[in-house]
């Protein structure tokens, strides 16, 4: 139920804002709006104010604004309050305002999220210098080593760990050229990121040059008895280098009842400490709390807005790059998500708190705004393209030509919907088990 409510909240806000953009632009230019609907299909709730019927419809996967004289086959009187009676420039303003409102919403919501501040990993915006390579990982097979500085992925420069994770994450199961610097020499290796999580995010198994930190120890527990102290930096367990908090927890968990040797850095000195995790249930525990090196991020209102604009510009570039990757084969169609996956993410984000939910909302709003600008008939961008071509040709296309263009756009959109819904269904384990070709 929480997943459904979170999904309806996110989708409802995004659709409302998008259609509100069309509605306000139409009203400002004097175009009569007949219907403002959230959802499609049978109308569940409706109320009329002036010329406009406001309603909530049964299928909550979109919405629409119906304007007088919007389509060539609509009854038309030639009055100036009909959509097709307005100039192409005025119609462009009405069409563009839906996507623009989604982009503005993404900037505003992200700015609100950023203004709350956060603890962020210290390595996030640092150059991607390899601190560790996971055993058996694609990076190890490609010969990537600790100390290598990755400078490019598939020809694109990467300046930070964030850049690297994004570049690799969108190329699962694809051979990728990775440029790196080792001992001052430039090298290029081919790596094939392995897909991870149900969204098949690419990972090559490289980790930053950091170590987990003991935040505190619990009185009377094995960690305290062994002599571990808050502030100890854990370098290794049984000689295996520790980089992340998760890695350390797993190393302790799988050694319940067995003594392990922890190498920690304390006051600039490396110290070896023997400790025996107690077996509790199916895991070993030492009785300590572990964190990773972080820095506090607290922008003021102006900085939050500026950062939001910068991030949305970066994300926009990534969206277009991902779309381009679908056409040239760099990006797997398996990474596309549909309504089921969005619902799952909405539920998970809602459980994590309003900041996670609003971050997801900002991301989806940006995607919705930009995707609606694609030059595909049926979408806002498709209608804008048709008008632009008509303007260049200095004549309007016939109804038959427009119907063919809209039909082509509809077929393309349906193919996309089939793909994303199939992807969504394969991410549900019990449904995937019913697909023999997936087993």
Give a three-class secondary structure readout of the chain. Answer: CHHHHHHHHHHHHHHHHHHHHHHHHHHHCCCCEEEEEEEEEEEEEEEEECCEEEEEEEEEEEEEEEECCCCCCCCCCCCCCCHHHCCHHHHHHHHHHHHHHHHHHHHHHHHHHHHCCEEEECCCCCCCEEEEECCCCHHHHHCCCCCCEEEEECCEECCCHHHHHHHHHCCCCCCEEEEEEECCEEEEEEECCEEECCCCEEECCEEECCCCEEEEECCCCHHHHHCCCCCCEEEEECCEECCCHHHHHHHHHCCCCCCEEEEEEECCEEEEEEECCEEECCEEECCEEEECCEEEECCCHHHHHHHHHHHHHHHHHHHHHHHHHHHHCCCCHHHCCCHHHHHHHHHHHHHHCHHHHHHHHHHHHHHHHHHCCCCCCCCHHHHHHHHHHHHHHCCCCCHHHHHHHHHHHHHHHHHHHHHHHHHHHHCCHHHHCCCHHHC
Average pLDDT for residues 369-374, to the nearest whole number? 90
Average pLDDT for residues 265-291, to the nearest whole number? 92
Is pLDDT above 70 for 175?
Answer: yes
Q: Which pLDDT tens digit goes with each residue over 102-122?
A: 999 999 999 999 999 877 888
**Domains (ranges, CATH) in the chain?**
1-29+86-117+298-397 (no CATH), 130-208 (2.30.42.10), 213-292 (2.30.42.10)
In this prediction, residue 432 carries a pLDDT of 64
Is pLDDT above 70 for 434?
Answer: no
Is pLDDT above 70 for 431?
Answer: no
Identify the CA nearest to 283 among candidates 312, 310, 254, 309. Answer: 254
Identify which has the larger pLDDT, 321 or 207.
Answer: 207
In this prediction, residue 119 carries a pLDDT of 78
Average pLDDT for residues 58-72, to the nearest whole number? 84
Is pLDDT above 70 for 39?
Answer: yes
Report the share of the chain in percent with pLDDT over 70: 96
- The residue written with tokens 């409510």 in the block is 5
Q: Which pLDDT tens digit goes with each residue over 133-174?
A: 988 999 999 999 999 999 999 988 999 999 999 889 888 888
Is pLDDT above 90 for 414?
Answer: no
Residues with catalytic roles: 19
In the beta sheet, which residues pair with residue 150? Answer: 180
Confidence of residue 439 (pLDDT cuts 50, 70, 90): low
Please state, rounded to an integer, the average pLDDT across all residues of the chain. Answer: 87
């Amino acid at each position: 139920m929480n997943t459904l409510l979170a999904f309806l909240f996110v989708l409802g806000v995004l659709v409302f804002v998008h259609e509100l953009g069309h509605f306000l632009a139409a009203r400002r230019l004097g175009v009569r709006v007949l219907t403002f609907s959230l959802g499609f299909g049978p109308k569940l709730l409706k109320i009329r104010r002036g010329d406009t019927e406001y309603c909530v419809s049964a299928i909550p996967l979109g919405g629409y604004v119906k304007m007088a004289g919007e389509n060539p086959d609509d009854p038309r009187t030639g009055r100036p309050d009909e959509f097709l009676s307005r100039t192409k420039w005025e119609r462009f303003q009405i069409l563009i305002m839906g996507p623009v409102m989604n982009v503005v919403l993404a900037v505003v919501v992200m700015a609100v999220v950023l203004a709350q501040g956060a603890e962020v990993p210290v390595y996030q915006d640092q150059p991607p210098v390899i601190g560790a390579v996971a055993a058996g990982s694609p990076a190890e097979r490609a010969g990537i080593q600790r100390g290598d500085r990755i400078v490019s992925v598939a020809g694109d420069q990467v300046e930070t760990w964030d850049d690297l994770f994004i570049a690799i994450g969108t190329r699962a199961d694809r051979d990728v050229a990775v440029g790196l610097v080792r001992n001052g020499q430039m090298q290029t290796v081919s790596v094939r990121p392995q897909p991870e999580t149900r969204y098949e995010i690419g990972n090559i198994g490289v980790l930053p040059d950091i170590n987990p930190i003991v935040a505190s120890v619990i009185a009377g527990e094995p960690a305290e008895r062994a002599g571990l102290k808050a502030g100890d930096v854990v370098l290794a367990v049984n000689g295996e280098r520790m980089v992340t908090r998760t890695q350390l927890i797993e190393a302790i968990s799988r050694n319940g009842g067995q003594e392990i040797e922890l190498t920690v850095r304390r006051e600039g000195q490396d110290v070896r400490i023997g400790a025996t995790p107690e077996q509790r249930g199916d895991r070993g525990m030492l009785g300590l709390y572990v964190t990773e090196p972080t820095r506090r991020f607290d922008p003021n209102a102006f900085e939050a807005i500026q950062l939001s604009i910068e991030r949305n510009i970066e994300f926009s570039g990534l969206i277009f790059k991902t779309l381009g990757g679908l056409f040239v084969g760099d990006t797997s169609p398996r990474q596309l998500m549909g309504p089921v996956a969005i619902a799952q993410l909405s539920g998970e984000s809602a459980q994590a708190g309003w900041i996670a939910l609003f971050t997801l909302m900002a991301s989806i709003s940006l995607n919705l705004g930009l995707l609606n600008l694609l030059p595909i008939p049926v979408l806002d961008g498709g209608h804008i393209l048709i008008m632009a071509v008509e303007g260049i040709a200095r004549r309007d296309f016939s109804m038959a030509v427009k119907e063919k263009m809209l039909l082509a756009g509809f077929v393309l959109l349906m193919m996309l919907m089939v793909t994303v819904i199939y992807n969504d269904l394969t991410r549900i384990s019990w449904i995937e088990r019913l697909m023999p070709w997936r087993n």
